[in-house]
Structure 1
Amino acid sequence: MSFNTLVFRSMRKNIRHYYLYFFALIFSATLYFSFTTISSNDDVTHMRNADLKAGAAFQVGSIILIIIVAVFVFYANHLFMKRRSREIGLYQLIGMPKSKINSMICIENFILFTSAVSLGVLIGYFFSRFFTMAFLKVIGSDDFVEMYFSTDALVQTLVVFAIIFGFILLQTMWLIARSKLLDLFQAESKSEQQIKKIAPYQLVLGLLGIVLIGFGYYRSSILFEVKNTITLNDLFIAMAIILFSVIIGTFLFFRYSVSFLFNVIRSSKKGHLNITDVVAVTPIIHRIRSSSLSLSLITILTALALGILSLGSIAYYGVHATANQNSSYDFVTFNNQGSFEQQLKKEQIDFKKQTFQIVSADIDTQNLLKEKPTDDALENISNKTQVVAFSDAKKVFPSINITDDEAYLTGYSQMMASIIPLESGRTIQVLLPGLTKNLEVKTIEKQAIVPSYLTSGVPAVVVSDALFKQLQENKKVQKMTAWHSFTGYTVPEQDIKQATELYFKTTNDGTFKSKKQELHPKPKAILIKALQEQMGLVIFIAGFIGLAFLFTSGSILYFKQMSEADEERTSFTTMRKIGFSEQEIMRGIYMKQLFNFGIPLVIGLLHSYFAVKSGWMFFGTELYTPLFMTMGIYILLYSIFALLTTQYYKNVVRQAL
């Protein structure tokens, strides 16, 4: 028999094993080529928002995608080689040298890679337009995209997969070179580690894993509190501690905690094991330690994917709320500069306006803090505050009513509330030469009066008209105040486009100057569009990478369970012969799959929830709706792999007798 004939017969014989590997290659090539095609499309990278660095974002996403694809292909190849171990052992048994076996597998891999990448590029070409249209839809663009083939994307894909192919050959050669003949015949049934009785130190490590995860959750919940995080360096150190404790804790949990819990369950049976225990509990105990690394990796990948997707969803979901926090008006002018209002009248555009007098003053609000921060943190808290008169505040809050000794706080954002919790009913103090006054804060409102680009996110203070007049006449306040007034305009939606053109034309492209500052406020429509593009870019790339994470983790579990199902085929045959029904065996398999897919998913969901909850306020104004929507979709897609695995097990059980 010629060598070429042997190669093709080997491929034909292993077709049932090849399809997994082949599918993994096709999917990886499709995903990568589609992504690089989108990133090289000028309609995508050169969007109207000049501040949006779409090209750079896609490059970062491309690097992450390469890592995901490489890990996925390496794992699939490792599993494929393990399932062919008996065949390789037979080749060695009949005297075929390892160099010849390497050559045969290299040729097979070359055929597989060439075919898979070709199909992946072809499928990716058709899917890239769909993904591009989805991306433009997410960022709110109505542009139409034609079918687009990128030579650069093709070359990049070929180069990346050529490099991966080179490493796959090295991996294959290394696996064959270090293999022993006896090991090859036992590779499919051999556990990665001999299972021994649980030692006391393992119990301690298992408990430590749970404690580390709990510590990471607790530390993340107070990560951004001002009393704990003083500087950026403190923040990075805290984040590193949380990351370390959660990752190590996850590994220890799967490595020792789960083994201990299942051993307790088995010991409680006192030797009276039912069919579910035999099919589910015992295999989990014997495989959990060898699977601890992969289950930990899948859990961390799930948490990372969900965290990125959730934060992107929160930011995208809250675009309009974020724009309203910045300014609740369509257009804003300062210090009566420009002729915007006159042009609106000239063009007969209906509008509503509200004018506010403001001053900047030193007001000590530290007494409102629920918990006193450290002295170092207090040094970073500025007392400079924007102040609004009571009569102007009534334009926004008609029911407001204060005396000369009372005050309101407005513009208390969710981010501010999460980092620096404040309580009403306490006093604040005006700190000015010749004007020191205590004011009781009646209410702290979330809705803002003064635009956030004037307050820098700090709540503005509403005081009585008499006190406001005193502040206006104070010389120190006059020196501190850069902007004495602003006017907010609201126009009908159908006139927004024309009004925007007039706004830029009459305000020197939206520029306002004082002796101390220069402002460039954007009209709300443009701000919403810019935020939509920015957050749309984030959520699209995060979604694409999240899809890759989902498919990678789900496929790793699916491939692993398929391999275990084939290994347990003889056990199922024995069970069927002694009288157990398919339904009885499947009950144990359902429990086993609930563990293999459910535990990494549940812990990954918990990891991502606490991670997102610690810093979501920097991305949007609503947490639970976008978070639970994202998690729900992820759970639904993830469950598909569990159903496919269960169905594969069911087919194996049916064929066992």
Structure 2
Amino acid sequence: MKLSTLVFRSMRKNIKHYFLYFFALIFSTTLYFSFLTISTNDSVTLLKNSNVKAGAAFSVGSIILLIIVVLFVFYANQLFMKRRSKEIGLYQMIGMPKSTISWMILVENIILWIIAIATGIALGFFFSRLFTMAFLKVIKSEQLVTLYFSPEALWKTIVVFAIVLVVIMLQTIWIISRSKLLDLFHAESKAEQKIKKISFFKLVIGLFGIVLIVYGYYRSTVLFKISDNVSMNDMFISMGVILGTVIIGTFLVFRYSVAFIMNLIRSSKKGHLRLGDVLAVTPIMHRMKSSSLSLSLITILTGLALGILSLGYIAYYGAESTANQSSPYDFIILNQNEKFEQSLKKEEIEFTKYEFTPLTVQVDTRKLLKNTVPKDSEFNTSFENLVIPYSQAKKVIPDLELSNNEAYLSGYSQVMASLLPLKADEEINVDVHNLQKKLIVKEIAQKSIVPSMLTYGSYSIIVPDHVFDQLKVQKDIRTATIWKSYTGYNIHPEDVIKVQKIYDQTTNNGEFNSKHASTNIFSKNQNLNMQIEALGLVIFIAGFIGCAFLLATGSILYFKQMSEAEEEKASFTTLRKIGFTEQEIMKGIILKQIFSFGLPLLIGVLHSYFAVKSGWMFFGSELTAPLFITISIYVALYSIFAVFTTLYYKKIVKQAL
């Protein structure tokens, strides 16, 4: 028989096994090619409102995606080779050299890869349009999307997967060359490491893993507190400690803690095991040693994917709130530019006007701190603030009331609240040469009346008019104040686009100059559009990579459970012969799937929650809703793999008798 005939007969015979491998290759190629196609599409990379370089962001995303794809394909190939172990053993028994076997499988691989890559590229070509439409929808762009073919994406995909094929071929040759005939016939059916007794040392290690995770969670809650981190080096060290303890702790939990808990459950039965225990508890405990690394990896990847997706969606979800915080008025004029207002009147455009004359004043706010701060960080509690008179602020906040010795803090953002927690009803001190003023802070509010471009992300202080009058006669304060005045204009939403053109023409695209500085001020609508484009790009790439993580981890678990189902088929046959029904067997299998899919997901969700909770305030103004939405969607999609796995088990159980 010719070798070519044997190759095609083998491929036809192994079509069931090839399905998993073929799916992995098509899925990986489709993802990678469509992502590269999108990254070379000018309608995506040329953002109108944002200065973010979309091409660079897609390049980074493509590297991360490639790493996920390569690891996924490697795992699929390893599983594929395991399922063909008996066939390879038979070839060796009839005297076929390992080199010939390797060559035959390599030819099969080449044929399979050519078909899979061609199919993946074709699917990627059509899906790229769908993904592009989704991206433009996210950034609220109304561009028309047509089918777009990228020669650059084509040759990059072919080159990358050709290199991966070479590495896969080397992996296959290495597996075959190191294989032993007896091992090949037992590779698919041999039991995993069986744990008869958990030693005290392993118990301590398992408990230590839980302690490491809890400690990592605790460190994440104080990561950005100045009282705990006095420098950037301290913060980076804390991040490294958190990452290390959580990863190591996760592995130890799966390696020792889970097996110990399962052993306790089994021991508590005192030999009276139910069918559910036999089909769920015992297999989990026996396989935990070999599964600990893959389950740990899946858990970490799940936490990473959820963390990235949640932070991206938090930023996108709060884009409008962030724009309002940074620009509380539709348009802002610095140092009284009369051309803008004259143009509005000429065009008969109605507007509401708020005028301010801020002062830059050194204010000591140490007594407002909720927690003590190390001396190295005291510079953060006494700095220059913009001070606004009460009469001007009341036009924006009508219900504001201040007595002669009171002050009001405005624009206290979530970031400030996390880094420097403050409390009201405490004293602040203004000490400028011969002027000393002590004021009681009546309220600390998030609402901003001063653009964040002028406060540099800090808060502004509203003081009584008589205090403001005393401050403005101080020469040092007048010198320190860069912008002597600013005016906020609110326009009817229907006129915003028209007024934007007037604003650009009369202010040289929002450019303002003073004696000591120059700055560009964007309108609220511009700020919002820039944030939506930049954050839409981030969330799209994060979503794409997150979906790759989801499909890869879900598929790995699915493939692994399919393999275990094949191994346990003989056990199902025995159980059916002694009288157990299909429904009784399925109850135990469902419990096993809840554990196999649920535990990595649960721990991964906890990892992502504590990671996101530690620094979400840097990305947006709302945590609960976007985090809940992200986790819910991820869990729902992830559960699909558990359902498919259960259905596959059901099929195996039906075939068992």
2:106 alignment partner in structure 1: 106
- Tell whether 2:502 aligns with 1:502: yes
Counterpart position of 1:97: 97
Greater shift in the superposed pair: 380-389 or 500-509? 380-389
Aligned-residue Cα RMSD (Å) equals: 1.0
- Is the 8 Å Cα contact of residues 38 and 132 (structure 1) preserved in structure 2? yes
Residue matched to 2:262: 262
Q: 1:24: which partner in 2? A: 24
Q: Distance in 2 between matches of 1:400 and 1:281?
A: 64
Q: Quote how far apart the aligned CAs of 1:598 are.
A: 0.2
Equivalent position amino acid for 1:225 in 2? K
- Corresponding residue of 1:209: 209
Task: Report the equivalent of 1:298.
Answer: 298
Name the residue aligned to 1:464: 464
Structure 1: distance between partners of 2:338 and 2:257: 69
Residue number in structure 2 paired with 1:451:
451
Match of 2:67 in 1: 67
Rounded Cα–Cα distance in structure 2 between residues aligned with 1:87 and 1:463: 85
Give the secondary structure class of the aligned counterpart of 2:357: strand
Q: Deviations over 1:512-564 (max 9, x none)?
A: 11122212110111111100000000000000000000000000000000000
1:196 deviates by 4.3
Q: Within 2, Cα distance between the matches of 1:108 and 1:161? A: 16
Deviation, 1:366, is 1.2
Counterpart contact for 2:367–2:426, Cα < 8 Å: yes
SS in 2 for 1:283: helix
Q: Which residue of 2 aligns with 1:391?
A: 391
Structure 2 CA distance for partners of 1:50 and 1:612, relative to 1, 3 Å = closer
Distance apart, 1:125 and its partner CA: 0.7
Q: Deviations over 1:131-164 (max 9, x none)?
A: 0111111111000011111111100110111011
User: Counterpart of 1:478?
Assistant: 478
Deviations 1:307-355 (A, max 9, x none): 0000010000011100000011110011113511011111111111111
**Distance in 2 between the 1:59 and 1:191 partners?**
44
CA distance in 2, matches of 1:606, 1:79: 30
> Is the 1:17–1:80 Cα contact (8 Å) retained in structure 2?
yes
User: Taking structure 1 as the reference length, what is the TM-score of the superposition?
Assistant: 0.99
Kindly report which structure 2 residues correspond to 1:359-438, keeping only aligned pairs within 5 A, or say none: 359-438=359-438
Find out whether 1:115 has 2:136 as its counterpart: no
Matches within 5 A, 1:222-621: 222-621=222-621
Task: State yes or no: 1:654 paired with 2:647.
Answer: no
- Is contact 1:411-1:459 (8 Å) kept? yes
- Whether the 8 Å contact between 1:338 and 1:507 is mirrored in structure 2 is no
Query: What are the superposed Cα offsets for residues 567-603 of structure 1, whole Å, 9 maximum, x if unpaired?
Result: 0000000000001111111110010000000000000
- Cα distance in 2 for partners of 1:400, 1:194 equals 71
The 5 A counterparts of 1:62-211 are 62-191=62-191, 193-211=193-211
Cα distance in 1 for partners of 2:497, 2:578 equals: 79
**Greater alpha carbon shift after TM alignment, 396-405 vs 247-256:** 396-405
- Whether contact under 8 Å (1:337, 1:512) holds in the other structure is no
For 1:621-636, list aligned pairs within 5 A: 621-636=621-636
Q: Secondary structure at the match of 1:209?
A: helix
2:50 touches 2:533 (CA, 8 Å); kept in 1?
no
1:49 aligns to what?
A: 49
Report the TM-score, using the length of structure 2 for normalisation. Answer: 0.99
CA distance in 1 between counterparts of 2:515 and 2:250 reads 56
Q: State the Cα deviation string for residues 424-481 of structure 1 (Å, max 9, x = none).
A: 0110101211111111111111101111111112211111100000011111111111
Amino acid at match of 1:511: E
Which consecutive residues of structure 2, in runs of 5 or more, have no partner in the other structure?
none
Q: Does structure 2 retain, via aligned residues, the 8 Å contact 1:191–1:290? A: no
SS in 1 for 2:294: helix
Larger deviation, residues 617-626 vs 516-525 = 516-525
Of the structure 1 ranges 230-239 and 73-82, higher mean CA displacement relative to structure 2 is found in 230-239
SS of structure 1 residue aligned to 2:358: strand
Question: Distance in 1 between the 2:382 and 2:348 partners?
Answer: 44
Q: Does the 8 A contact of 2:408 with 2:462 survive in 1?
A: yes
Q: Residue 509 of structure 1 aligns to a residue in which SS?
A: coil
User: Identity of counterpart residues, as a percentage?
Assistant: 60
Shift of 1:630: 0.5
- Deviation string for 1:232-273 (max 9, x for gaps)? 222211111100000000000000000110000000000110
Structure 1 residue 649: Cα displacement: 0.3
Q: For the residues of structure 1 that align with 2:500 and 2:272, how far apart are their CA atoms? A: 78
Rounded to whole Å, the distance in 2 between the matches of 1:627 and 1:50 is 26
Q: Quick one: which amino acid aligns to residue 177 of structure 2? A: A
Distance 2:519 2:229 in 1: 30
Instruction: Check the 8 A contact 2:333/2:486 in 1, yes or no.
Output: yes
CA-to-partner distance for each residue in 1:178-206, whole Å, 9 max, x for gaps?
Answer: 11111111111234545342111111110
Rounded Cα–Cα distance in structure 2 between residues aligned with 1:252 and 1:99: 40
Q: Is the 8 A contact 1:299 1:604 kept in 2?
A: yes
Aligned 8 A contact 1:361 1:386 in 2 = yes
Take 1:237 and 1:631, find their aligned partners in 2: how far apart are those partners? 29
In 2, Cα distance between equivalents of 1:158 and 1:193: 40
**Separation in 2, partners of 1:429, 1:619:** 32
Partner amino acid, structure 2, of 1:16: K
**Greater mean alpha carbon deviation, residues 486-495 or residues 619-628:** 486-495
Task: Give the SS at the match of 1:79.
Answer: helix
- Other structure's SS at 2:361 match: strand
For the 8 Å contact 1:212–1:248, the answer to whether it is kept is yes
Residue 508 of structure 1, CA deviation: 2.3
The Cα of 1:379 is off from its aligned counterpart by 2.9
State the Cα distance separating 1:377 from its structure 2 match: 1.2
TM-superposed deviation, 1:382: 4.4
The 3-state SS of whatever aligns with 1:52 is: coil
Superimposed CA distance per residue, residues 632-654 of structure 1 (whole angstroms, 9 cap, x where no aligned partner)? 00000000000000000000001
- Write the distance in 2 (CA, Å) between the matches of 1:193 and 1:239: 35
Q: Distance in 2 between matches of 1:53 and 1:551?
A: 28
Residue identity in the other structure for 1:473: V
**Which AA in structure 2 matches 1:318?**
G
Within 2, Cα distance between the matches of 1:429 and 1:399?
Answer: 25
Matched residue SS, 1:383: strand
CA distance in 2, matches of 1:463, 1:496: 33
Question: Counterpart of 2:37?
Answer: 37
Aligned length, in residue pairs: 657
Write the distance in 2 (CA, Å) between the matches of 1:515 and 1:549.
53
Runs of 4+ in 1 over 4 A off after TM superposition: none
How far apart are the structure 2 equivalents of 1:423 and 1:552? 47
Q: Is the 8 A contact 2:300 2:604 kept in 1?
A: yes
3-state SS of paired residue (2:332): strand
Shift of 1:171: 0.6
Q: Is the 8 A contact 1:572 1:653 kept in 2?
A: yes
